[in-house]
Amino acid sequence: MSEPNFYFIFFLLLISGKVLAELAERLGQPSVLGEICAGILLGPSLLSCVPCHEYMPGFYRVRDIAHLGICVLLFQIGLESSFTKMAKVGPTSFVVAVAGVTCPFILAFIFCWLFNMTTIAALFIGATLTSTNVGFSARVLSDLKRLDTRESQIILSAAIIDDVIGLIILSIVSGIGAAGIVSFVSIEKSLLVIIGFFILVLLTGILLVKPLFNLVARAKTEGTIITIAFCFLLFIAYYANYVGIAAMSGAFLAGFLLTRTNQLDLIKEKTKPLVEILTPVFFVVAGTSVDLKILNPFNPENKDAFVLCAFLIPIAVVGKFVSGFSIWKKGISKTFVGVGMIPRGVVGLICAQVGLSTSILTQKTFTALVITIMVTVLITPPMLKRIIRNTTP
């Protein structure tokens, strides 16, 4: 893909996302829904003018910009968090995360077993439904101006935790898919790497970040502080990705560590324009993965996918929704937390793709999983909005 073409594609992603986000806002819906619809418009369902498959020129460049957009958003969310807030909801978030992983995994596995699927296929389908889309949840909660609530802190913290758990499960089922047996060595290695990553980054950050930025603040060159902050985000995201953890989890951790600096307010202010430009690209690109042609009920080949969707969608929704009722504390909306945990995202799509590429999942099963993931994304914003409307005096 030539450079001018890429610039035009980037233009389409930005302008369509902003126009349809504005339309969604005027219709009383969160802007992120408009951005996803913009992706559906630009993708294979209608215009097919944005590369959405690996074989298309420019696909990796668009994908990388989209991933950078979600990392910047998670970085901003980390900046808005604090050690005090996280400590208050830490144990609660962990319980919600474990419940949110366990329930859909078990329900999906039992369903697949009853329908005579192979054990390995059942494991992959269960793993696909475990991880909450933390980036999407963060964006919706931000649009609804609910980021500072205890419920939102629980949702975001639990989503980060179950993202890590989901990646551990992915490593386990990938080992099963490759060898046909559970590799306990692989499981042990994954656990050690993830635990080691968080301990190393947290300890290093706590000890070095504040002195480092006090030193950087003495620089005379304009923009030095935000540049170093952005470099810190990129390095932690790279390191997370290098050790096998989602880069967005590393981005959140980077922002979280910078809350200890004396320059926090300046970093927040300078980060906002980056979020406003790059983050919508991620959700527009996510929308391009939806192909409405597979929803054609008049095509007999789509029947199996429809039947599978009819069962997987309720499993995906109920499995996460009940996690909100694992909260034992009073004064917290269990319904709000449960709904906020429903949307699935990147980790689920990765797991489904691995299953397809290893021939463990059929094309129809993969299609049903993608539809299920998109449905969980689309139903969450209006459900949260309704809960807020019903609970606000």
User: What residue has token string 């990553």?
Assistant: 197
Return d(Cα 310, Cα 277) in angstroms, integer: 37
Buried b (16+ CB within 10 A) or exposed e, 151-168: bbbbbbbbbbbbbbbbbb
Nearest to 347 by CA among 35, 107, 119, 127: 127
Buried b (16+ CB within 10 A) or exposed e, 102-137: bbbbebbbebbeeeebeebbbbbbbbbbbbbbbbbb
In this structure, of 12-16, 50-54, 145-149, 151-155, the range with the lowest mean pLDDT score is 50-54
Whether residue 1 is predicted with pLDDT greater than 50 in this model: the reply is no
Is 336 within 8 Å of 108 (Cβ atoms)? no
Whether residue 85 is predicted with pLDDT greater than 90 in this model: the reply is no
Return d(Cα 138, Cα 16) in angstroms, integer: 21
Return d(Cα 343, Cα 130) in angstroms, integer: 10
Buried b (16+ CB within 10 A) or exposed e, 59-87: beebeebbbbbbbbbbbbbbbbbeeebbe
Position 295 scores a pLDDT of 67
Whether residue 136 is predicted with pLDDT greater than 90 in this model: the reply is no
pLDDT digit string, tens, across residues 286-334: 778 777 777 677 777 777 778 888 899 999 999 999 998 988 878 788 8
In this structure, of 13-27, 65-79, 353-367, the range with the lowest mean pLDDT score is 353-367
Both tokens of 333, joined, read 């909306």
Q: At what angle do helices 134-143 and 150-179 cross, to 10 degrees?
A: 160
Whether residue 355 is predicted with pLDDT greater than 80 in this model: the reply is no
Could you give phi then psi for residue 127, rounded to 5 degrees? -65, -35
Position 4 scores a pLDDT of 44
pTM of the model: 0.73
User: What residue has token string 């919508």?
Assistant: 280
Return d(Cα 49, Cα 234) in angstroms, integer: 29
Between residues 219 and 393, the one the model is more confident about: 219
pLDDT digit string, tens, across residues 162-194: 776 776 676 666 655 555 555 566 566 666 777
Mean pLDDT of the chain: 82
Position 3 scores a pLDDT of 45
In this structure, of 10-14, 202-206, 281-285, 351-355, the range with the lowest mean pLDDT score is 351-355
Position 153 scores a pLDDT of 83
pLDDT digit string, tens, across residues 87-135: 665 788 889 989 999 999 999 989 888 888 887 888 889 988 988 877 7
Position 327 scores a pLDDT of 86
Position 271 scores a pLDDT of 92
Q: How confident is the model at residue 51 (pLDDT cuts 50, 70, 90)?
A: confident
